[in-house]
Amino acid sequence: MSRKRPTVADLRAMKGKRQLTMLRVLTLEEAEAAERAGVDIDSVPPELVLNPQYRDAAPSLFTMPGDNFFEIGTADDFVRWSFRLYKAGADAVYCSAGYATIKRMADDAIPVIGHVGLIPSRATWTGGFKAVGKTADTAMQVFEAVKQLEAAGAIGAEIEVVPVEVAKAISERTSLIMLSMGAGTGCDAQYLFAEDILGTNRGHMPRHSKVYRNFAAEYDRLQQERIAAFSEYVADVNSGAYPEDRHVVHMDPEELTLFMKKVDAKS
C-alpha cells in the first residue's frame, strides 16, 4: 500500500502524538531503502533532490536538503538556492545560517528547518563538539534560540546533543517540529545518519549513533574480491589465457584472402 507524502501541516498535526523517524541519506539507493523501510523524513545533499530520479526512488519521504551556511552565501543566495530545491521536489530546507536568513526564506513561503544545540558548522561558539545545554544558563540559550527560530518563521529545528530533560521541556513549549539527534524521545522525531546505521562510518561514532549492519566489512570483502578479479585478469593476459576464441570475431576466409592481397599490394 502506497504512502502519502506528508505536508508541513501533517507534521505539525503529528507533533506530540508519535515519534517520527528521520535519516540523513546520501545516495538514491539509500533513499529508496528509507522509503521502503517506512522512514518518515530524510535529509539529503542538495544534488540528490535535484536528481530527476529522486522522487521515483522516494515518493513519500518528507525531504529536507541542506548544506552548511558558508557553502551557500547570503540571504539572497539562500532564497535562490531554496527556490531551486523547492521546485525540484524538496518539502523543506535545512538552514544553519542566522535568523535573518531564515526569516528571508520563510517570508517567501519556504519551509525552513533550523538548528540548535550542537551545531557542527558553528561549534566553536559552544566549545567544540560536545553536549550543549548542561547548565541552566546554557539550556536557556538553547530555549531562546528555539524561540528566535519560531519568530523567524521556521517550521522546525534539529536539536543536537542536548540533555534529554532540556530537549523535552523545550519541545513541549514550542510549536516547532523538533528533530532529535542525541536529544532523546521528548522531541518529535529521531534522527540518525545512514552511514552510522549501516556501519560505513570508519571514523568517530557519536554517542547517539547505533550500528545495525557492518557494511564496512562487506565493502572490505568486496574490495579484496575486486583486487583478486583484477589480478586474475592480469595473469590471464600475461599467460595468453585471455582472450579466448569466444571473446573475438573472425573474418570470412575468402574475405580475409582478398583483404590480405589488397593490404600487401599497398605495403
Q: How confident is the model over 3-22, as pLDDT tens digits?
A: 899 999 999 999 989 999 99
Q: How confident is the model at residue 112 (pLDDT cuts 50, 70, 90)?
A: very high
> What digits encode the pLDDT tens for the residues 45-92?
999 999 999 999 999 999 999 988 888 989 999 999 999 999 999 999
Indicate which residues carry an active-site annotation. Answer: 160
Instruction: Taking residues 27-46, report their average pLDDT.
Output: 97
Q: What are phi and psi of 253, to 5 degrees?
A: -55, -40
Give the pLDDT confidence score for residue 204 in this predicted structure.
Answer: 80
Whether the CA torsion 152, 156, 160, 166 is positive or negative: it is: positive
Give the pLDDT confidence score for residue 32 in this predicted structure.
Answer: 97
Q: What are phi and psi of 20, to 5 degrees?
A: -85, 160
Given a cut of 90, is residue 42 above it in pLDDT? yes
The DSSP call for residue 66 is B
The cell numbers describing 131, all together, are 553536549
Q: Where are the alpha helices (DSSP H) in the chain?
A: 8-14, 28-37, 46-49, 54-57, 69-72, 75-88, 99-107, 136-152, 164-171, 194-197, 215-239, 253-266
H or E element, residue 116 = strand 112-117
